[in-house]
Amino acid sequence: MNAWKTLEQNGTESEILKGLIDEADAVVVGIGAGMSAADGFTYIGDRFKNNFPDFIEKYNWLDMLQASLFKFPTLEEYWAFQSRFIVLNYLEQPAGEAYIALKEMIENKPYHVITTNADNAFYAADYNMDKVLYYQGEYVRMQCSDFCHDETYRDDELMRKMAAEQDGMEIPSELIPYCPKCGAPMEKNKRTAEKGMVEDAKFNAQRDDYNAFLKEHSKGKVMYLEIGVGHTTPQFIKHPFWRQTRQNENALFVTMNQKTYRIPEAIKSQTVFLTEDIGETILNAHKK
Ligand SMILES: [Zn+2]
């Protein structure tokens, strides 16, 4: 350490970000909820209040993501909430500016993305989806709640129908989806701490591609760029990025987050903290 010329200059955070991406041989990007929030896709505040006033009145929730993990008393209510959530955070989610700017900055070099988000942001911003691993599932997909087989299902029309035809926070019972193999109720294909998730063939192929990329780029100036990743599930992005950085003396761990987290001593000299506003930093870097 260290071969990164950008770090010898005194640039702004957006200059540093742009310089490091340009200088890197390969970029591995880890995306968490903070990146979607930077583009306005937040789970709190008006976006939640305007779309779920009835649920908020009933349960006093403050956070839509937390609410989505609630053990709903009935399947009618579960799908009333989830279908509205899925229309908002997936089917009708528009393209985000920061997502587009990031794509344009990395797309001309070897890169791969892993995300713990399950929203539609990468599709909406027109990423090459062969290079994106959705580690925690995608909101729009369904799985058997008994995990009886390894397939996931997508039915946009049903989601829209459940969102539109609900009344008093309940969907009509006849719309409830059931597993085509065992008859158990279906649920959202989203990894949870207790159950994990159904990992279908597409997921396994995406994970293999991601791991192959990491292996292929285990030497040289590899930039592990973590954006808006908190500490709720560090085992998916943060800890693997630390390990990979530690195994390659020319690698750099770059973390964009307004909160700073403790970094292991062993990679401190290979770590760059970018603590300014994520959206502004990316958009300004993109202009340079
Ligand atoms: Zn089943």
pLDDT tens for residues 247-264? 999 999 999 998 878 899
Residue 185 Cα to ligand 1 middle (Å): 8
> pLDDT digit string (tens) for 167-209?
999 999 999 999 999 999 999 999 998 999 999 999 999 999 9
Residue 72 Cα to ligand 1 middle (Å): 20
Does 1 have pLDDT greater than 80?
A: no
Residue 151 Cα to ligand 1 middle (Å): 9
- The CATH topology of domain 5-287 is Rossmann fold (3.40.50)
Residue 195 Cα to ligand 1 middle (Å): 15
Residue 5 Cα to ligand 1 middle (Å): 54
Residue 186 Cα to ligand 1 middle (Å): 8
Residue 133 makes CB contacts below 8 A (sequence gap 6+) with 112, 113, 114, 115, 206, 207, 209, 210
Residue 150 Cα to ligand 1 middle (Å): 9
Per-residue confidence (pLDDT) for residue 274, from 0 to 100 = 97
23 known ligand binder: no
Residue 104 Cα to ligand 1 middle (Å): 41
179 known ligand binder: yes
Long-range (24+ apart) CB contacts under 8 A made by 167-171 are 168/54, 169/54, 169/55, 169/58, 169/77, 169/80, 169/81, 170/74, 170/76, 170/77, 170/80, 171/76, 171/79, 171/80, 171/83
For residue 275, name the pLDDT band (cuts at 50, 70, 90).
very high
61 known ligand binder: no
15 known ligand binder: no
Residue 143 Cα to ligand 1 middle (Å): 8
> pLDDT digit string (tens) for 119-155?
999 999 999 999 999 999 999 999 999 999 999 999 9
For residue 3, name the pLDDT band (cuts at 50, 70, 90).
confident
Residue 139 contacts residue 188 (beta carbons within 8 Å): yes
Task: List the domain boundaries for the chain.
Answer: 5-287
> pLDDT digit string (tens) for 50-109?
999 999 999 999 999 999 999 999 999 999 999 999 999 999 999 999 999 999 999 999
Residue 267 Cα to ligand 1 middle (Å): 45
Per-residue confidence (pLDDT) for residue 10, from 0 to 100 = 87
For residue 20, name the pLDDT band (cuts at 50, 70, 90).
very high
Residue 205 Cα to ligand 1 middle (Å): 22
Residue 54 Cα to ligand 1 middle (Å): 32
Per-residue confidence (pLDDT) for residue 41, from 0 to 100 = 95
Does 2 have pLDDT greater than 80?
A: no
Per-residue confidence (pLDDT) for residue 178, from 0 to 100 = 98
Per-residue confidence (pLDDT) for residue 133, from 0 to 100 = 98
Answer with the residue of higher pLDDT: 259 or 115: 115
> pLDDT digit string (tens) for 224-242?
999 999 888 899 999 999 9
Residue 177 makes CB contacts below 8 A (sequence gap 6+) with 79, 142, 153, 155, 158, 185, 186
